[in-house]
Structure 1
Amino acid sequence: MIESPYFPYAFALIIAAPFLIYTRQFVYNYIKLKNKELNLLTVKGQSEQRMHAYERITLFLERIKPANLVTKFDENLEAHEYLFLIEKTINEEFDYNASQQLYLTKNSWTKVVNCKNNILHLLHKTYENLSNESTLQDYKTVFLMNYINEQDYILACIEDLRKENLIIN
């Protein structure tokens, strides 16, 4: 038998080949499982963020309901001061929650913006229709009555958000 100088290398290669193949397969499967885990965590994180967005927008809508707005601020204010403070509060709250539009559908976000704008319009319309001798309490009463006489667009928007959230999740 002729012994070749390459025989030890060939023997080592034959012994090492299965080990290298199994190691490669293990690493490949490990990476594949980690990618699946990462994808699942990403989807879970997005649904949690979406749920949080619906909660924050619903809270915003609850806060701008006229029944909640009339309880804010001191009773000793003038109607125009109250109007200024309420408008400022609504706009600040809206600006704070504006980033949530990323997680809502375009239709839902449009409804939220319309609710905010309708409340601001109703606040101004009520103020313009009051006489100069009217008190803040008169203003608040007329504001509530004007809202009651209109369609409850805030409640409708909250219901739409609820339905949409159930469909998405």
Structure 2
Amino acid sequence: MMTTPDTATLVLWVLISTLPALLVGAGMYVLTQKYLERDYRKRLLEVRLKNSEVILPIRLQAYERIILFLERITPSNLLIRVSPSGLSAVEYQAQLLQEIRAEYTHNLSQQLYMSEVAWQQVKKAKEDVVTMINQCFQRLAPEARGTELAKRVLEKVLHNEMDPTAQSLQFLKQELHEIF
């Protein structure tokens, strides 16, 4: 006569038979997770590297354009480019300010590729140039000519021994050296 195994023996027999399968399954799960995590990190690194190959030249071009902008609004360069001949001081002031605004507007999108501190330096330089032109204009007689305004602006630059864009230019160049 055959005896039926009791429940405890049956449970023990099922555990002994399934334990190796459970251990192999758990090991496979852990290994698969580690592989997928490593693969994810590798792909993320590849994407970042690809992005830097695209973004880095764009950032460099943005800094180049902003440096060119600052050079163009440097008072001595601006006064050479925008001639005062035949204009009253009022007309010349308006023309200088319009030129600065146009240059600034043209380069406004470059702030996307610059640090916030660098962009604030650029804005400050632009505002300093505008302030300098306005201050020089306010000290002129109402009937003054554009050449007198140009002369006053140049005298102010020479008197201060530093133009309003120099600090920003220096900051941008320093930041570029840190990036590259």
Matched, 1:157 2:162: no
Q: Take 1:110 and 1:149, find their aligned partners in 2: how far apart are those partners?
A: 25
How many angstroms does 1:47 deviate by?
0.8
Asked whether the 8 Å contact 2:91–2:146 carries over to 1, the reply is no
Q: Of the candidates 152, 156, 159, which is equivalent to residue 142 of structure 1?
A: 152
Q: What CA deviation, in whole Å up to 9, does each residue of 1:30-54 have, x standing for no partner?
A: x998876544221111111110010
Which runs of structure 1 show a deviation greater than 3 angstroms over 4 or more consecutive aligned residues? 31-39
Distance 1:96 1:67 in 2: 21
The corresponding residue for 1:52 is: 61
Q: Could you tell me how far apart the structure 2 residues matched to 1:100 and 1:84 are?
A: 25
Give 1:104 deviation, angstroms.
1.2
- Name the aligned partner's letter for residue 104 of structure 2: F
Equivalent residue number for residue 10 of structure 1 = none
User: CA–CA distance in 1 between the matches of 2:124 and 2:84?
Assistant: 28
Count of aligned positions:
142
Match of 2:135 among 116, 125, 133: 125
Q: Which residue of 2 aligns with 1:13?
A: none
- Coordinate RMSD, CA, aligned: 2.3
Secondary structure at the aligned position of 2:107 is classed as: helix
Equivalent position of 2:106 in the other structure: 96
Which residue is 1:107 aligned to? 117
- CA positional deviation for 1:73: 3.4
Residue identity matched to 2:176: N
Letter in 2 for 1:99: S
* Percent of residue pairs bearing the same amino acid type: 28
Q: 1:83 aligns with which of 93, 113, 119?
A: 93
**2:72 is matched with which residue?**
63
Q: CA deviation at 1:92?
A: 1.3
Of structures 1 and 2, the larger Rg is shown by 2
Paired residue secondary structure (1:156): helix
Aligned to 1:168: 179
> Counterpart in 2 of 1:5?
none
Whole-Å separation in 2 of the counterparts to 1:134 and 1:140: 11
